[in-house]
Amino acid sequence: MTHTVLKSLNQSLHDMMDADERVLVLGEDLLDPYGGAFKVTRGLSERFPDRVWTTPISEAGFVGVASGMAMRGLRPVVEIMFGDFLLLAADQLVNHAAKFRWMYGDKVDVPLVVRAPMGGRRGYGPTHSQTLEKHFLGVPGLVVVAVNPLVEPGAMLRAATLDDVRPLIFVENKLMYARRVRTPIEGRLGAMRARQQGEPYPTTTLSFADVPASDVTIVAYGGMVEIALEAAETLLIEDEIYCEVCAPTALHPLDIDPIADSVGRTGRLVVCEEASAAAGFGAEVISAVSGRAFDALECAPRRVASRPVPIANAPTMEEAILPQVADILEAVRGSVGRWRASRSA
């Protein structure tokens, strides 16, 4: 029985609302029959008419409202229709929600979940295709997680909503909604050995089963995970390069251990992200790995990212701007090639 990421999230919301009266859902255009721009909330308003609040177009305002609700006993899940609009709520997230618990001497909790569908590849143009979570990383008190199809997205959403008392941005990816969830079964995912560490926002580490040591660690999160896996397969077949793919879901605070361990085994690091590179997730991973596993690094870590321009609307340009399998191949080959060349010399 397979299901999509969309289905997993939607089902999780249904189950949570069914089980826990404190769960409320807020956002734009959530009501059935429309059920939200990407249909993650479909069917909720019909079943729970009092607890699905379709909002005015007021991203700052309704994130603020939800913070207030969270501080007074509820478990609101907010949908930002397109993650691009999260910037409108930046002050609410950083100067309000993220600060309240610590600033108020731990007297309050803010169990707020803000869901944000990010990413391009759908031709939506400059203001509806961005991957903006990098700008929200590193805020004291604010958690950022990103799902991918190797974990059960609904379970992660449930943990974020019911078990986590911290305000949290839950990054989804527009293209990923239609993907099948395929979590590892008995330590394997297809041809790869799979390990998941870190609850409730696990990092999945995948490696080809019968290889003692892989050649390179590829880190990818969210929408880049599937692309990294495709690259890893190609590299195996075409280049006999063995990749370990690390797919973290906790972007901040980042659990660097599984990544640093992997680099400890491979000595080489390529980090993929859909945003442009500067001061992004890859920068943090490379810095943190440098801090933890510097001696293991055999060559310069590389970043695969968007070109640093707005995401153009025209498909020819959008494709060239966003990171593709080919970019990962190039980065990995660059890393490994240098080493192979030096080894065979």
Ligand X SMILES: Cc1ncc(C[n+]2csc(CCOP(=O)(O)OP(=O)(O)O)c2C)c(N)n1
For ligand X, the binding residues in 64-103 under the rule CB under 6 A are: 81, 85, 88
Shortest Cβ distance from residue 288 to its own copies (Å)? 8
Token pair listed for 333:
């080959």
Binds its own copies by CB under 8 A, chosen from 51, 99, 265, 340: 99
Range 256-275, binding its own copies (CB under 8 A): 275
* Cα dihedral across residues 304, 333, 223, 282: positive or negative: negative
In the complex, least distance from residue 72 CB atom to other proteins, rounded to whole angstroms: 4
Question: Which residues, listed in sequence order, are joined to residue 160 by a DSSP beta bridge?
Answer: none
Q: What's the rounded Cα separation, in Å, for the pair 220 and 272?
A: 5
Task: Find the part of the chain contacting other proteins (CB under 8 A) among 52-60, 171-179, 206-214, 231-239.
Answer: 52-60
Residue window 62-81: x/- pattern of binding to other proteins, with contact defined by CB under 8 A: xxxxxxxxxxxxx-x-----
Q: 158-177 in b/e burial notation, b at 16+ Cβ within 10 A?
A: bbbbbebebbbbbbbbbbbb
Tokens standing for 327? 């970019």
Q: What angle do CA 219, 221, 225 make, to 5 degrees?
A: 85
> Hey, what are 133's tokens?
């979570």
Q: What is the DSSP letter of 193?
A: E
Task: Tell me the C-alpha distance between 110 and 99, whole Å.
Answer: 9
The site map against its own copies for 136-155 (x = CB under 8 A) is xxxxxx--------------
Residue 314 interface partner, choices ligand X, other proteins, its own copies, none, CB cut-off 5-8 Å depending on type:
other proteins
Applying the rule CB under 8 A, the residues between 277 and 296 that interact with its own copies are 277-284, 286-288, 290-291, 294-295
CB of 92: closest distance to ligand X in angstroms? Answer: 11
Tokens of 76: 């609101």
Picked from other proteins, ligand X, its own copies, none, the partner binding residue 294 (CB below 5 to 8 A depending on kind) is its own copies
Q: How far apart are CA 186 and CA 267, in angstroms?
A: 27
Let me know: does 206 contact 193? Beta carbons within 8 Å.
yes
122 binds, among its own copies, ligand X, other proteins, none (CB under 5 to 8 A by kind): other proteins
Distances (CA, A) of 112 to 92, 160, 218: 12, 8, 31
Q: Which residues within the stretch 298-317 sit at the binding site for its own copies (CB under 8 A)?
A: 299-303, 308-310
Minimum distance between the CB of residue 295 and other proteins, rounded to whole angstroms?
A: 18
Nearest distance from residue 110's CB to other proteins, in Å? 10
Integer Cα distance of 136 and 94 in angstroms: 8
Write down the least CB distance from residue 322 to its own copies, Å: 13
Angle between helices 224-234 and 325-344 (to 10 degrees): 40
Q: Which residues bind its own copies (CB under 8 A)?
A: 84-85, 87-88, 90-91, 94-95, 98-99, 102-103, 126-127, 132, 134-141, 252-254, 275-284, 286-288, 290-291, 294-295, 297, 299-303, 308-310
Q: Which residues bind ligand X (CB under 6 A)?
A: 28, 57, 59, 81, 85, 88
